[in-house]
Amino acid sequence: MANLKNPTKQKLEHLLNMRTGYVLDFTNATFQDFILTSVGIDVDKKYPDGSKAVRLRSFWQRESDETVATLMMEMLDRWRTSQLMSNGLSPEDQTIYEQAMAELKVLIPDDLVPSADEIAFLDKDLGNIDLSAVPVPLTFQEVIEQRRQEIELCLRARAPLAVIFLCGSTLEGLLFAVAESHPKEFNQATAAPIKEGSVKPFGEWTLQNLIDVSRELGLVGEDVLKHAHAVRDFRNYIHPRQQIRENFTPRMFTAEMADKVLQAAIADLASRDSS
């Protein structure tokens, strides 16, 4: 059950026009699609009875803080956009909107709220990614393309853990193949991992090691290094016990970041090899 306070509910009821039994301008079909896209819940199956407003109130009662806050913030953004596209916002409604958004954000832990930098990275246009220009064997390129297609399927199915595994392992394999093609450069890099005075064999390098050296050599950009946290620990979560120990909860946002990191790395490798 979400910890929505009565004043917050009052603001939401007002802005979403729920006193009529409706919610914004949603039809039954668009209401279902919006919620499914936002938080991965089929409201028609889980909350089949009553008007849209009644079902949304049931949603508040049964879902978690994070889920409710995420959905409500997206609905408020939809309301605000609609207002701006028509007659604009009244000062009173603008104040209510800002207060409601602030009250909802409190329900989401700080580490779950995307930063402006992360949002900008997700929105970044990488252009057409030419996998054929990546400096790895043709058979490897084919496997990477197959994995990219599978990642897309997992994203559509809202399976974040599968996406993180696929993105992390694919990026690790890709950079490992590049390292094997350029052993001298990778082994002589200052970021190369050292053990007992010598550079570790490639088989002992972590994904973070590969990313650090690839960045040092100019093979991948700063964005890949900066946002590598989305993929670098993927091996830790293969076993449920370790996932529980680290209190890791896979989210779609993390999955989308992992996918973007992989795409950015492929784009960087392709552009540097062709330049």
Angle at 273 between CA 272 and CA 275, to 5 degrees: 65
Task: Indicate whether 1 belongs to any domain.
Answer: no
**12-41 as b/e: b if 16+ CB within 10 A:** beebbebeeeebbebeeeebbebbeebbeb
Query: For the chain, what is the domain count?
Result: 2
Which amino acid is residue 11, in one-letter code?
K
Which amino acid is residue 263, in one-letter code?
Q
* Token pair belonging to 249: 């909860």
Is pLDDT above 80 for 250? no
DSSP assignment string, 204-249: G--HHHHHHHHHHTTSS-HHHHHTGGGTTTGGGGSSHHHHHHTT--
The mean pLDDT value of the chain amounts to: 89
Kindly state whether residues 123 and 86 are assigned to the same domain. no
How far the first Cα of the chain sits from its last, in Å, is: 55
Q: Where in the sequence is the domain holding 179, given as residue range(s)? A: 114-274
pTM score of the predicted model:
0.61
pLDDT band at 111 (very low <50, low <70, confident <90, very high): low
Q: What percent of the chain has pLDDT over 70?
A: 96
End residue of a domain, out of 111, 136, 169: 111
Kindly state whether residues 207 and 150 are assigned to the same domain. yes
Across 202-228, average pLDDT: 93
Give the pLDDT of residue 271: 86
**113-126 as b/e: b if 16+ CB within 10 A:** eeeeebeebeeeee
CA distance 118 to 63: 26
State pLDDT tens for residues 132-191: 888 788 888 899 999 999 999 999 888 889 999 999 999 999 999 999 999 999 999 999
Across 251-270, average pLDDT: 91
Kindly state whether residues 235 and 156 are assigned to the same domain. yes
CA distance 53 to 75: 13
* Token pair belonging to 275: 């330049």
Kindly state whether residues 52 and 135 are assigned to the same domain. no
